Structure 1
Amino acid sequence: MVKGDYRVGNPESRIAVVTLASHLEAYPEAALWGSSKTENLGVEKIIVNTISNSNIRYILVCGTESRGHLAGQSLLAIHAGGIDEQGRIIRSEGAIPFIENVPGEAVERFQQQVIMLDRIGLDNTEEIRKIVDEYRNKSEAYPEEPLVVCSPKKKQCSLAVPVNGDVIISEEFVMDAEAGIICPAESL
């Protein structure tokens, strides 16, 4: 699972709740419960966390929509239409609706695995809990194993012995600017 603004509840539950820009008290009967304010990274995290649990078959999208970003509308749009070749969410009205860290196969799995429950604007915690209770045991788990998405890792620094010292620090020390390593001059 990817870090985010959510709580893990009952991993056997069939429903996850996305409260958009609203922060509502979590209900532990939902598999996941959290907010999403962006149409790109927020949607990516929802997809990755959903497909990592085959028990999740429904996503309740509720709460107040995030102004400009339209995370809820974008989540519904990616479920309905997917992404194009450039990673743009088809029919999203959000400001920057591009998926950059999730492959198309993961988006397709998300589309197949879950049914979206569009209740954007619903902030009533009791009503949301009733919906969770209605769907938490509904249906069977998705028939395929959970899918884990590994996002590309940032370029990692590696320590190595410099092959040359292209910046002289003093008579005693040089620096390999490319590697970012300072070492004694005699080691070269």
Structure 2
Amino acid sequence: MKTVAEGWPIVKGDYMVGDPRSRIAVITLASQINPSPEVALWGSSKTENLGVEKIIVNVISNCNIRYILVCGMESRGHLAGHSLIAIHENGIDETGRIIGSEGAIPFIENVSKAAVKRFQQQIVILDRIGLTDPEKITEIVRRYKDRGEVYPDQPLVAISQKKRQPTFTDSLSGDIIISEEFIMDAAAGVVCPTKDF
């Protein structure tokens, strides 16, 4: 059985590819920590939306990956680690919002509910947010890199959904102001950048 999708990793990002047969990937959040070649993927994630999407897409397209070590320091406001853990535990609602995430804009627009479900089934999250000690991280990697079986299904290549179009044309018609840069139409569940005046 094929365990890694052709062209893996599927989406580009701020990461290094190690051993695609490894059972563990490491997400260092906003910290830069020297990578280990013993992991499948090693990289940072600073956002609670696109960063989480990239992790999901790249992980479910490699059935060897069964664990994700989430370590390093959180990105302020975005809470990418918290959002990754929340999507794993709770999934997304009908609008694409990560249930239970406290990130600034925790909306998933390019990954289907089916892909999120697969991520939840395939992966065990090792929550070590705040851990930056390279030796302790290496110990965890070595403990999990060969642990467990390959996920017993084909690699899933998540097809990007078409981005939702805003239901309003004037940025001032949004009903929730998120920041100076973003507003939201709560009824549509759409977050859009504000226009420059």
Structure 1 length as normaliser, TM-score?
0.80
Aligned residues of 2:110 and 2:162 also touching (Cα < 8 A): no
Aligned: 1:110 with 2:119: yes
Separation (CA, whole Å) in 1 of partners of 2:33 and 2:125: 19
Deviations 1:40-64 (A, max 9, x none): 0000000000001000000000000
SS at match of 1:100: coil
Aligned to 1:31: 40
Separation (CA, whole Å) in 2 of partners of 1:52 and 1:27: 21
Q: Equivalent pairs: percent with the same residue?
A: 71
Give the one of 25, 30, 33 matched to 1:16: 25
Shift of 1:150: 2.2
Aligned: 1:135 with 2:144: yes
Separation (CA, whole Å) in 2 of partners of 1:139 and 1:104: 25
Aligned to 2:98: 89
Deviations 1:108-144 (A, max 9, x none): 0000000000000000111101100000000000000
Unaligned runs of 5+ in 1: 155-188
Aligned: 1:149 with 2:158: yes
Separation (CA, whole Å) in 2 of partners of 1:60 and 1:75: 11
* Number of residue pairs matched by the alignment: 154
Aligned residues of 2:111 and 2:161 also touching (Cα < 8 A): no
Separation (CA, whole Å) in 2 of partners of 1:104 and 1:41: 15
Aligned to 1:99: 108
Aligned: 1:125 with 2:129: no
Structure of greater Rg: 1
Give the one of 55, 59, 67 matched to 1:50: 59
Aligned to 1:77: 86
SS at match of 2:71: strand
Separation (CA, whole Å) in 1 of partners of 2:58 and 2:36: 17
Deviations 1:60-99 (A, max 9, x none): 0000000000000000000000000000000000000000
Separation (CA, whole Å) in 1 of partners of 2:151 and 2:27: 20
Shift of 1:149: 1.4
Separation (CA, whole Å) in 2 of partners of 1:138 and 1:59: 12
Separation (CA, whole Å) in 2 of partners of 1:153 and 1:57: 28
Unaligned runs of 5+ in 2: 1-9, 164-197
Instruction: State the 4+ residue runs in structure 1 displaced beyond 2 angstroms.
Output: none
Structure 2 length as normaliser, TM-score?
0.77
Give the one of 6, 26, 45 matched to 2:15: 6
- What is the alpha-carbon root mean square deviation over aligned residues? 1.0
